[in-house]
Amino acid sequence: MNATQILAELLCADYPVGEEACNALAAHAHRHTCHRKECLVQQGELSGHIYFIVKGLFRGTAVINGREDTLFFGTKGDPFASVHTLAHQQPAAISLQALEDSEVLAVAFDDFRVLLDEYADLQKWWSAMLLEQVYALERRYVWLTSCDASERYDTFTKVRPHIHERIPLKYIAQYINVTPETLSRIRSRAKR
């Protein structure tokens, strides 16, 4: 599958982006293969691209006060961009790390900005994506503060049933804000 077909499939799953915009985006995209544990975006460094996950699995992670946290997981179809760099030319606040060998399409921010100005359907897709990301962050905040650990694990496995078995337990524990030992107990009870 060529870059245009891949982008059309990925973008149109969330918003109807026209063929012309997909072709223009594909003309500026290049494929990048990420190996397991490789950071595509590194916290504290400028990031110059928006990435579209073609295959594989990633986690968004940040080290805050010396403690690593897993903030989200990304799979096929998910876009990722350092908003700090894109919006304000500041270093990325979040790293994007491959949890398995993965592939992305990368588009430089400068090219992406021009395309957003040129194609209204691409701009609408981007607005929809940003709104969905804010919604997901709010939902996670409420979820972390109002549900117990068992409920958080149960919700995670239901919301992301296709990936939870591919993620190391320590990252799931970080994501649901429990210790690995607590997660092991929760999983044991859930299997009964």
**Residue 167 and residue 183 in contact, taking contact as beta carbons nearer than 8 Å:** no
pLDDT in tens, 162-175: 888 899 999 999 99
pLDDT at 12: 83
Q: What burial class does residue 16 get, using C-beta atoms within 10 Å of its C-beta: 0-12 exposed, 13-18 middle, 19+ buried? A: exposed
* SS3 (DSSP) at 101: coil
pLDDT for 108 beyond 90: yes
Write out the CATH class of domain 3-146: mainly beta
Q: What is the pTM of this model?
A: 0.92
pLDDT in tens, 82-94: 999 999 999 999 9
Q: In sequence order, what are the residues at sequence separation of 6 or more whose Cβ sits closer than 8 angstroms to the Cβ of residue 168?
A: 99
Kindly write down the DSSP assignment for every residue of 121-144, as one continuous string: HHHHHHHHHHHHHHHHHHHHHHHH
Give the number of other Cβ atoms within 10 Å of residue 101's Cβ: 14
pLDDT at 185: 92
pLDDT for 190 beyond 80: no
pLDDT for 1 beyond 80: no
E strands of the chain, at which residues? 29-34, 39-41, 49-55, 57-64, 67-75, 79-81, 95-98, 102-108
Domains in the chain: boundaries: 3-146
pLDDT for 192 beyond 80: no
pLDDT at 115: 97
pLDDT in tens, 130-147: 998 899 889 888 988 999
Q: In sequence order, what are the residues at sequence separation of 6 or more whose Cβ sits closer than 8 angstroms to the Cβ of residue 129?
A: 14, 15, 79
Structure tokens at 51: 């990435």
